[in-house]
Structure formats: structure tokens, C-alpha cells
Chain A
Amino acid sequence: GNSVTQMEGPVTLSEEAFLTINCTYTATGYPSLFWYVQYPGEGLQLLLKATKADDKGSNKGFEATYRKETTSFHLEKGSVQVSDSAVYFCALSPNAGNNRKLIWGLGTSLAVNP
């Protein structure tokens, strides 16, 4: 079946540190991959996405590359800020027939200290 596995949090970093949040997936066919972010007190927001192998999604300094050979979609940012403190979710859409439901990881909490 389809599944998403994220690294467990919480992740605590100092401002300007390099961030990696690992995400691997299991899926049949060619899923689309997403990273969502939830800031404190707010709902989920789409951060970035990639719809085919080798695509790189990027937004607000965050990047993730769709690696089919390693079934991974790791989130990276070169220099985090306090305002990046949030919970990050990796998700996939199977893109199989009428199945459009997102399969979600459990989320990784990030705290950035000044």
C-alpha cells in the first residue's frame, strides 16, 4: 500500500543552521509528493510539491527533490529562521485512478532558537 515515513521530531536548531527533514515513501506507480507546514495556531499550508521524478520543489528557501531511486523527498533549507518554527508534513497523492486522497506522514516539529 501507500505510506509516508518522516523523521521523528522535535527538531531543535539554532538560527542560521542547516535543516534536513527526511521523508521516504512507499507507493505504486508515480505519485505526486508534497510538503505542508503548520505554523502555531494555524491550519496546514502547502509549502512545496513535485509531481514527477527528479523534479525539485522550492518555496521560501525550502527545497525538496523527488528521488524515485531512493523513494525519498527530503526537505532542506540552508539557513533557518525563528519564523520557520512549525510542524512540517510530508504527503503523497497516489495519482492512481480516482484515488486523489493525500497520504500523510505524522509530521515533524521544528523549533528554531534565536
Chain B
Amino acid sequence: ETGVTQSPTHLIKTRGQQVTLRCSSQSGHNTVSWYQQALGQGPQFIFQYYREEENGRGNFPPRFSGLQFPNYSSELNVNALELDDSALYLCASSSGAARSVSGNTIYFGEGSWLTVV
């Protein structure tokens, strides 16, 4: 049990639709990162939020966007879904901006399985 909860756990969407995934970070954690893990692949970094601002982004198009709220929970939004967006989406939370190796532990949620048909 990491204290990071994601919802929904599974969902199916149609190509072209939009999806919102949610993440509640562990209490006291102000940094949230999102990853996409396609079947048989390692996780790919999408972006990171620190104190409600995006402070790092991987190689994903603008139709992947996010938000972090004052309580540090977060949303991942994907517009104009494509078949290749089918994947497990992981949320990870930690304290600090991940710009130092001061011993901050990063906790991952169980993930949200998205299938695009």
C-alpha cells in the first residue's frame, strides 16, 4: 500500500474521444509524475507537476495535458485518443521537486488501464 490512489482502474474508450485519469498523492507529497507503460514496454515519462506547476515533460504531444490541484492531487487528460494510447498509466508521488537526491521516496499507484478501440 503506497498511499497513491488512481482512478479508474480500467476503462475503454473509442478513438477520438477524450479521457481524464485521476491521482491522489500520498499525504504530504507535493510532486506528482505521470508515466505511460505500453504492453511489454517500460514506463515512459509524460510529465511532472510540482506545487501545481508543470516542471518537466517527456516526449508526448500537447494532447496530453495535466493539472495539479491545491491538495496536490492530479489529473491526466488525453484528447483525440488514438489506438496507440492504449496503455497502463502510472502516477507517482513524492515530496520535493525531484531535483535533488535527498532521499525522497517515490511512491507509485497501481495504475489505470486504458484501452482505446
Contacts and interface: CB of A to CB of B under 8 A. Distances in A.
Contacts, number: 64
B37 A38 contact: no
Contacts of A42: 45, 56
Interface residues of B, number: 29
Interface in A4-44: 9-10, 34, 36, 38, 40-44
Interface of B is mostly: loop
Most A-side CB within 10 Å, residue of B43, B44, B56, B101: B101
A53 interface: no
A104 interface: yes
A23 to B, nearest CB: 15
Contacts of B46: 43
Contacts of A102: 37, 42-43
A64 B37 CA distance: 23
B58 interface: yes
Contact of B107 (A43, A85, A106): A106
Interface of B: 2, 33, 35, 37, 39-40, 42-46, 48, 55-56, 58, 88, 97-108, 111
Interface of A: 9-10, 34, 36, 38, 40-44, 46, 85-87, 89, 100-102, 104, 106-107, 109-111
| Leading 6 A-B pairs by shortest Cβ distance | A43-B45, A10-B103, A46-B42, A109-B103, A41-B99, A109-B101
